[in-house]
Each structure stands twice: as structure tokens, then as C-alpha cells.
Amino acid sequence: MAREMSILKLRGKLDGMSFYKNSEGHFVRAKGGVERNRIMNDPNYERTRENMSEFGTIASSGKLLRNSISILMNRAKDTRTSNRIVSLMSTIKNLDNQSLRGQRKVAEGIKSVEGKRVLEGFDFNKNSPLGILFKAPYTLDVEAGSVNIALFNPKEHLLLPEYATHVSLSIACASLDFELQQSEVAYSEVHTIAIDADAAPLEIGLENLPTLEGTLFYLLLVELMQEINGQLYPLKNGTYNALNLIKVV
């Protein structure tokens, strides 16, 4: 794959070459590859067919996660979030030690401790990792569905960009059944605090826990905002926000 560096910006196909643009610039690639009929029938492509079969569970599992928490992701994500999730789902699929090659599933891999740890700590916005933005020590009670901060001091516990006047914190718990492709999400109340507020204890609790039996994903969302004439606005449309998968159970 080549990158197009000239002032001529093309899109589409020309003389066997495909011109396209993504978030990283303009690119060009040559048409090529093996015919589909050969891939689907030639014994030499057995491994390719197995990989194609397993990619289906990877793609659907990543989509299930993204769709279930789309409300949160719309507030904190980057241009490569979907790709990074698919990559991790592939790693989890590889942890399925029950199924034959070509039939391995994310639904099996996520059952292991190792599978859960693959996603734990995932930042949906790589431009604003939770560990950089948010420094407050907290504890998560998975049974009660709450995050507790003994003494939250916004000025000391946040890496604040210019113009930030308020911070909002909330949590969510998503129960995902990757086998049945079902999900249920529970949300907490949003706690909005002025940056210059005095240090105080903070508890962020879910109103209820999901009733769907599945893998539980606990998420923490930190949003930075600016107050203008009594109205709160997200800074640069959420560029500084952090969304993190703090625990997978």
C-alpha cells in the first residue's frame, strides 16, 4: 500500500489502482488477490477459510459491545476505537480452548480469566486515557454496582485542559451474552462537579444491575466541560473525555 503525497487527490478506481482517503491521509493500492471461488474450495486455502469463519464471531462480538454502550462511546472515542476493539476480540477468540480451529468463539474465550483481562482497562479514547486524566483513588463494588472515592478533589485529581470549569462522572454496567448476541445496560446518575469545588467524598452508584445473564462490563466515564453563560458545553466535542472498562466479571 502506498501513500499519495502529491497535490492531486483522487478517489475511486483508475487503471487497476484504487484511490481512497482515511483519517490518516490519501492512499492508493493495486487491485489483486485470489479469486473467491478458489479461496472457498482450494484445499490450500483451508486455513484462510477457517480464519474467515472465525472473523464472523470477532466482528459480531465487537459490534455487540459497541452498540450496547453507544451512548457512552459517543462521548469518548477516537477514530480507531472500533478497530482496536476488533483486535482485542480476536485475542479473546484465540483463548477458546474448547472449539476446533475455524469454530473458535469470543463467547468461549471470554469465559476464562485471561479473556476477561484482555478487555479490562481498555480506553475507548486513546487520546485521553483514564489513567492520565483521572488520578483519584477509587474502589469498585461489583455487587453493589458503585464506585467510591474517599475524598475527591477536582483540582488535584484531574489533568485539566485550559477552559475546563466542570467535570461529570458516571458509571455503567453492561451485561453481554456473546453467544445469543444480547445485551442489557444499567446507568448511574451523572455527577457534575465544579472544578473549584472543595474536596468531598463521592459515591457513584447504579440504580440497578442488569438482569441479563452474561459477562459484566463496568465502565467509568469522565467528561470535562466549560460553563458559558450558565450553560455547560463539552470541550472540543469530547476530545478530552475518558471512557474506560474498569472491570470485566
For the chain, which domains are there? 43-119 (no CATH), 130-248 (2.60.40)
Report the chain's C-alpha Rg in angstroms.
Answer: 22
Contacts 24+ apart (CB under 8 A), 238-241: 238/74, 238/75, 238/76, 238/125, 239/127, 239/128, 240/128, 240/133, 240/161, 240/164, 241/75, 241/76, 241/125, 241/128
Residue 101's pLDDT is what? 83
In this predicted model, what pLDDT tens digit does every residue of 164-209 receive, in sequence order? Answer: 999 999 999 999 999 999 999 999 999 999 999 999 999 999 989 9
CA dihedral sign of residues 6, 7, 8, 10 = positive
- How far is 197 from 154, CA to CA, in rounded Å? 7
Residue 55's pLDDT is what? 79
Residue 39's pLDDT is what? 47
- Mean pLDDT per 10-residue section of the chain, whose length is 249 residues: 52 61 64 59 53 79 97 95 96 92 92 96 97 97 96 96 95 97 97 97 96 97 95 88 98
In this predicted model, what pLDDT tens digit does every residue of 224-249 receive, in sequence order? Answer: 999 999 999 988 878 999 999 999 99
- The β-bridge relationship of strands 25-30 and 2-3 is antiparallel
Cell output for 78: 477516537
Residue 56's pLDDT is what? 85
Residue 20's pLDDT is what? 66
69 φ/ψ sector (left φ>0, alpha ψ -120 to 50, else beta): alpha
